[in-house]
Amino acid sequence: MGNTVVNVKNISVVYITGDLRNIGLKEYIVKNLTKTYKANKFIALQGISFTLNQGDLLGIIGANGAGKSTLLKVITQIMRPSSGSVQVNGKVAALLELASGFDSDLNLKENAYLRGAMLGYTREFMDKKYPEILDFSELREFESRPFKQLSSGMKSRIAFSIASMVEPEILILDEVLSVGDGAFKEKSEAKMKEIIANGKATILVSHSIQQIRRLCNKVLWLDKGKQIALGDTESVCDAYEEFLKTGKLPLTGNE
């Protein structure tokens, strides 16, 4: 593979939870003075490490609550880790939540430019790329329609089209290929393979092990915030599918 574009070193994310939201300031002061305020720690991620090189497509697998989305937020610098470090070398386009970053009252074209601006691209760049984005999403006839009138599948198409067409060095996708019809899924996968062929890197979170097997060259398996395995796609996916059948985690750690 090529140069390292993402280097995650032993990161952990810890949330502090308590009963602050349910009390007023006066009651909080009293609780604090009398030492009756309760604060609990929730460990969302613990000791996660991996590298992503140019040309890699890393699949991240695990059940709900495994910490997959939290990890993506750390990589995209939406969230800071409690400990450890993350180094990212390159422009990131992340689709973490399809509905985020769009204005329901604006039309499709206006939202495309808005998302482009949020990704740091100039109007001139978007003027050049917009026709290509529109054609790829197959939504030209809906260009002037208010975004709130579009189906979830249409929203996922335009979101994916913007992220992939603006040529990011690092493309991050969180379950976005599970929305939409089969034809567009195939088209999206073909586009992802094209991005990889151009020396870019991609991180894909998916509940579809078949999709992970088709697309990824390495896989990270998380369970309840812990790193269970990191290695080649076949061996990690085989181990994960065995876990789904038996409910037993492998005895070994990272590969």
Say whether pLDDT at 20 is over 70. no
Confidence of residue 31 (pLDDT cuts 50, 70, 90): low
Round to whole Å and give the CA distance between 222 and 225: 6
Q: Is 55 helix (H, G, I), strand (E, B) or coil?
A: coil
- Could you report the per-residue pLDDT of 154-208, keeping only the tens digit for each? 888 888 888 887 777 888 888 766 556 778 888 888 887 887 777 788 999 988 9
Taking only the tens place, the pLDDT of each residue in 69-105 is 999 999 988 899 999 999 999 888 877 766 667 899 9
Tell me the average pLDDT of the chain. 86
Separation CA 55–CA 198 (nearest Å): 8
With cut-offs at 50, 70 and 90, classify the pLDDT of residue 253.
Answer: very low
Q: How far apart are alpha carbons 128 and 167 in whole angstroms? A: 13
So what's the pLDDT on residue 38?
A: 65
For residue 3, list its beta bridge partners.
none
Instruction: Looking at mean pLDDT, say which of 188-192, 213-217, 229-233 comes out highest.
Output: 229-233
DSSP 64: T
User: Does residue 189 or residue 1 have the better pLDDT?
Assistant: 189
Buried b (16+ CB within 10 A) or exposed e, 31-50: beeeeebeeeeeebbbbbeb
For the cut 50, the answer to whether the pLDDT of residue 143 exceeds it is yes
Give the dihedral of Cα atoms 186, 200, 121, 74; nearest 10 deg: 100
Distance, CA of 227 to CA of 144 (rounded, Å) = 45
- Please tell me the predicted confidence (pLDDT) of residue 12: 96
